[in-house]
Structure 1
Amino acid sequence: MMKNNIAYYRFLPMVLIASSSLLTSCFGPRNLVTQQSGIPHYNYIGDTLNGWALVRQDSLWGYISTDGKQVIKPTFLWATDFANGMALAQDDHGYRYINSRGKLLRRIKAPHAYSFAEGLAPVEIKGKWGYINPKGKTVIKPRFDWAEPFHENRAAVSIGLRKGFIDKNGQIIIPAIYEEVKAFKNGVAIVRKDLKWGMIDTLGNFLLPNQYDQIEPWETDFYRLGVYNPAADLVNIFGLADVSGKLLLDTQYAAIKLIQDRYIHARRDTLVGLWDRYGNVVIPMEYTSFGVISDDGVLAAYKNGKAGFINLQNQIVLPIEYEGTGTSGNRKIAYKDSTYVLMDNQFKVIKRIKNYKDVYSFSNGFAVVSIKDPNDYYGNLYGYIDEDGNEIIPPKYPAAGAVNAYGIMVVGQRNYSIIRQLLINTHDQLLSEGEDYYEINAFGSRLLYNKGGSDFKFFSSKTGQVLTNFPYTKLYPLEYGERKDWAKVYRNGKIGLIDTTLTELLPPEYDDMRSFYKGRIEIKKGDHWGYADEQFRIRIPFIYNKTEYFRYAMTTVEQNKKKGLIDRDGRTVIPLRYDQITFDYACDRIYADKGDDGIDIYDREGRLLLATDFEYIGQYGSNNYVAYRQNGKLGFMDYNFKVLYEPEFNGCGHFYDGLAWVRKDAKGGYINKQFQLVVPVELEYMENFAAGFTKVKKDGREYYINTKGEEVVPTEAELKKRNEEIERRKRGWIDFSS
């Protein structure tokens, strides 16, 4: 009887499930899981998340289970890793969702969608955006023009051309009054309002007012604030805020950098200073430059043309009276009256050195020294000293490099008028059989290589001897990008990738390779380009004729002579149907040129904001207006695409002193920033305004006018000021005094 009961209870759920499936057969989840058969070959295998790893066969995507026994066959055009128990995939019907049991939510077939985050996913349904839960049920009704994933219980949504934030109940917590917003992080969001960036909290209160032309994440725990400099026509005046939006440094500095992950170094005019990570002054701005901070907290400092040493309490530990100073290893060096003073880290004098022209920094216990070459008026001869100032190799080489960790260095040898390079050790013994080379470089601490045209030789950094069994024929370190410790290597005409430990990261089986940015490296195989990820897996297949690097979270690609945008996972953000793609980085807009059919304007999420028949459009940048050309004539429109001045001009200039010249046929005039014609279009010649006036020509007569269009006669001083202003614009001069 007990067994019969058990059978009954097992049977009951099956009946219920079967009944339920009759009701939901059109809309319920469909199981995609099948048993793995054979040993399939995958071109990509991702990390295992929520029990599944993303896989790719050729250009189609699917999933394989942790144990490799189950598979969701690669049939999707694009797919993501699992996150929050769900994966987003794209097929011919649109974007679809798959749960961690391998079931497809059949009711969701969205033209646009994002992955799940914090339990919800934004989807486009019948032209409007809302949010669904993991069962596919709509929990926030579609009423927005665009929507983004949740971060810290807030999601950015668009209403028209403005953005705000909602909570998980769909309530608008922060009104849609911003031109652009970034997702919340650490309770802070970057927003753009009235063409200026600021930072708000989760209730919409400004932590930093919207007064900046640029706010970007900087290092790990900061935001760099930037202000536009009209003289340089770029953002090059900076400040700093922490991750909570607290202002640390106001925007008045030409350069800011983080030293030793502990100190903020900033320059203003000709002076530099140091702050701690909390914005407290460590060393005030009274020096012209600093040296490296040594382990004992001492650094070289320069002031009024003299140098000395100070500590991090801004106490002078060596008087600022020397012509030059330096720190390297266990030694300090100061130069004065043709004498180099070699000291230990307690500034105890080890030796006074007078017989050298220059003493360079110590490296691994040795320093290069030089004297004047008696046979070459412009040349020097170089040798080496140890940390006690003892000469170990007299100055006799026309060139010399730093000593490596194994006591090996590169020196020059003159061959007629050409300087060839040799490898020697600290005993002045010739290595590699004394052969000289065109150019010897170090790659990391284990390898030296000679690049002489197309011929390469490789040497051990430890012995200086030729590596006869080195597996590659050429080596080129990556010059650009985020990983300078990687190098392209060649074998049999193919390219691979190694790091400074000589570990092979990518086998030499590719035809070209470029720099690494944002976790992606461009790779070419045959005639097509793709991208490898940070684990050297081919994340984006070889399907593009041309690619660009990931400067931001998306990049331009070309296929069949048409361009579009993809993100780091290969998702199409802007379809590949354009002749040219242009980024307007300052305002996060993207211009997609259709050739003779006009230009489309997108935002950074790939939302089409405006389709036009324009032949040309400028860039908004930090302005509320842009020039555009339609039917051969220039006009102006604002950020909301409202026409400010109908197209009727042949050309226009930049705004200076609030006015810009415009040209119509053979005549010109000036408009103001309200796009009113201040000076009628009747001038034969005109220049940009500077210092409040400009030169024009009318009826054959040259004269000056002010910003009201009235004729003026400037003084010599005013003309000089105008010319200085024009020169400053050319040089990008910055005046921090105001």
Structure 2
Amino acid sequence: MPLVLKTIILSFCLSLFTLGANATEYSVFVKNNLKGLVDNEGNEIIPAEYDDIGWSRGSTHVVGRVIGYRKRNNWGLISTKNEKLTRAIYSYLVPFDKQLIIAGIRKDGTNRSTYFLINESGKPVSKQRYDYLAAAGNRLIAANNRGRGQLFGLVDAKQRTLISLQFSDISYLGASRYAVTTQPNAVALYDADGNDLTGPSFQFINPFDGTLAEAAKDGKLGQIDTGGNIVIPFAYRRMKPGENTGMPFPEWKLLTGQNELLATVKYDSVIPAGKNLYRARSLKGELIMNGSGKALTDYCSCHIASVYPEYALVRRDDKYGLLDREGTWVLPPSYDSLIVGKDFYLASSTTATRLTQWHMLDESGKELSEYGYQTMIYSESGLIPVKRRNLWGYIDRKGKEVIPAIYQKVEPYRFDMAVVDYMGAQGVIDRDGEWVISPKEGRVDILSENRFLVKTRWGNHICDRHRRPVYETEQQLSPFDSLHLLATTDEGKVGLLDFSGNMVLSTMYDAVSPLMQDTVYIFDKGEKRGLLSKSGKVMIPIENEFEEFHDMHDDFFGVRIGGKYGFVDVNGDLRIANRYDSIGHFTEGMAPIKLLGRWGYVDKIERLLVQPLYDEAYPFHDGMAIIKMKGKYGMINKEGDRVIEAKYDEIHRGPSGRIVVRLGDRYGLFSSSGETLIIPKYEKITDLPGEYVIIRRHGKYGVTTKAGRSTIPPIYDTITYDDINEIFLAVTEPEWENLPNQEGE
């Protein structure tokens, strides 16, 4: 047989597609990139004239006596006798059962479709139309668009409503059961006739495996049967039903440093959130509890956003409210946004027409503002910027609109003045709404009570309250700090000038630092650095002898001159001679210096207080410094005495100031003055503020006093310190256990 003919036959055979349950009857074939249908004897039933044969979701089985065909992105129905039953008018065709088909038709002028059931002849089952329709067992899940989302329900094959279209979600679980979400974290079990079997009792229900389904309630897993009855109690973090095992939640104990038990709870995690407040998480949600383990909220999607002395700002299911320490809602969680002021709140809600509206509330939640606003911006300056009818104004702390909403844009008050945009121009008003600087073209910045920066397309200038020019320039000016403006040339060079327009640093430098230690600025040009006083006097010019110029520490700057290091003061005077190979920085009046390959310390009058004996030397803290000698670490005092011998592999200060050391694989503890508190005997030591440390021994965690006396025995898998409430959270991790049987045994 010729090779070409073999290739054609092979290509034809490869283009035959099996049609599901009707595999012995029909197959799709391809010819000239078009598709048709043949029977199991190879007879052409439907000629290859269509872009596709089958259904929208890719299947190709025949339903009764019909199958779908596609032309130009639309679908129609054709019989196995090559009779077109409908024109290609559908955007979507998918079989529902052996007689009915889910059809979609595009809405006029949109890419969205409306869905319904048709029979084999293309006749609609009913006049009912939906925005979503999908098979779910022998029923269909339907939905219609509502606002920004959809509301779901359940219908039968005659499109009769079994569950009304009012729920946020419905999913098919198998076994003729459905999970219906009534609100976030509230799911009910329904049967195929639309009967509610359980009410909104669960967070979620997974598909049935036979007659049982895994479900979650109050953050814990269990199992239910098809009637919604509890078969395995809700007590587990994870489950392996096939192995009949489950893993409980970790046990958390809230303990004082003296091992006094405050609470025992079981959650995935417990996170301190404020004074006597905790976030307790399990599975996909959380609740808020107090330090006694009492739940202050039900289990939901809760999050503590901020904590205040008397209450917490809480987000619950994407809404905000205020919760007090006893679990009472001061303000219900019903606001889209909530800002807490000193004696008022700013709150936004969504209206029935889906518009956002802001109000000022008093401490009881009563509306103070006379209008609903599009936006409110919290400000510490006294008056609150508000937006109404797309224009801005200000309200006072009582909600009264004291400056009418007539401006296109406003800024918070500063020096009892505010920058506003009015009629396309910008000016400055006082607290009574009177013009301090009338609106003009350009941008205005308030610098002080009597100085303003005005930027226009012609240049920048400083003026007073009467708009009298004080200084003008074509350079770019921008506020730098409370004393100066930053001037920038077109080439990117910068300098400083004061609010009276006096140039204190010419615009020839690459960068200027913030004010350091409220004393000086450092300015850079290339690799060189200079020094400018707070008052604007150049203390060290950029043309100097320094090859390196370090940042300021303890009023001294490290410098390199002629390849050697020393220190200068704020006047640029050399206070420590440039005789050293390397230096650290000054703390507590002493600085590390390196001489002849070894490190020691000098004071501010260059007395060599600690001889250069060490491989490494670090800055002093609380009168002691870490040093390294012959590969081992220790500590010395300011006299150079070794208060902790240099024999440790690791050494660091803890938050209490105590010293944690490691010798081999064991950790010990010294006081801040170098006294031995705990000899190196633990696998780990975590120093804490106050009187306690966390230790690990034989893989378990406990707590001792700083002197090493055990208070919480090392029996826990993890211990963390809650520094807000000054207690310990001790965790015991669970192990897999056998699930109880249906009798609870």
Q: Same fold (TM over 0.5)?
A: no
Higher relative contact order (CA 8 A, sep 6+): 2
Larger Rg: 2
Query: TM-score, normalised on structure 2?
Result: 0.38
